[in-house]
Amino acid sequence: MSEVVVVDYGIGNLGSVLKAFRHLGAPATLSGDPRALREAAAIVLPGDGAFGASMDELRQRGLLEPLLGAVKGGTPLLGICIGMQLLFEESEEMGTHRGLGLLGGRVRRLPPGLPVPHMGWNTLRAARPHGVLEGLGEAPYVYFVHSYFCDADPATVIATTDYGIELPAIVGRGQVLGLQFHPEKSQGVGLRLLDNALRTLGVRTSPAAEVARP
């Protein structure tokens, strides 16, 4: 299997994501080198924090154009947490900020009356069949930490979760996939999801031998 590049743009705990991929036996590296993005077999965009600050970091580090160019050239992309939100057209977090524009929709604040941030374990509910959901069982639990949600094009929604409203938890179109939750903090289910993502995006051809089953 070719190399997976986890984008190092100074946002969030990137090391835990890298560790999860290595646990699965995926040859993954952490890099902020634009050339590494152009040569990657797949790109992982993780992170936590503010939408606008994340986009600014990608831009200032010279990673925005190489990232978009790689994806438009067919390189698979997996966005995690804020990385999923960046896949969309824009966000209303602390002003209006343009995103990567790879998926249709807008990032909005969770509605008034709900505890913010949404932090803790919630179940996934499939919105449509997809390889990333394979073998997860009924109502698998994953770990969320976020204050904004993706008001996504319904055609891109793969799975949802209920937090006062039904919100997208997994989105995707073609070679672009996004997870709103933290798979690296979601124990066996999270590892299975990451393994499924590698195979769905064409990076891995068979399941990892050591991946924990739900």
Is pTM, for the whole model, over 0.85? yes
Instruction: Report if residue 31 sits inside a domain.
Output: yes
Instruction: Report if residue 67 sits inside a domain.
Output: yes
Instruction: Report if residue 85 sits inside a domain.
Output: yes
Instruction: Report if residue 194 sits inside a domain.
Output: yes
Q: Active-site residues: which are they? A: 81, 182, 184
Domain with 178 in it: 4-200
pLDDT (0 to 100) of residue 1: 43
Instruction: Report if residue 214 sits inside a domain.
Output: no
Contacts 24+ apart (CB under 8 A), 95-102: 95/52, 97/51, 97/52, 97/55, 98/55, 99/51, 99/55, 100/67, 100/68, 102/68, 102/71, 102/77, 102/173, 102/176
Q: pLDDT tens digits, residue range 149-158?
A: 999 999 999 9
In this predicted model, which residue has the larger pLDDT, 1 or 113? 113
Q: pLDDT tens digits, residue range 88-126?
A: 999 999 999 999 999 999 999 999 999 999 999 999 999
Instruction: Report if residue 11 sits inside a domain.
Output: yes
Instruction: Report if residue 206 sits inside a domain.
Output: no
**How many structural domains does the chain have?**
1
| CATH number, position 178 | 3.40.50.880
In this predicted model, which residue has the larger pLDDT, 20 or 213? 20
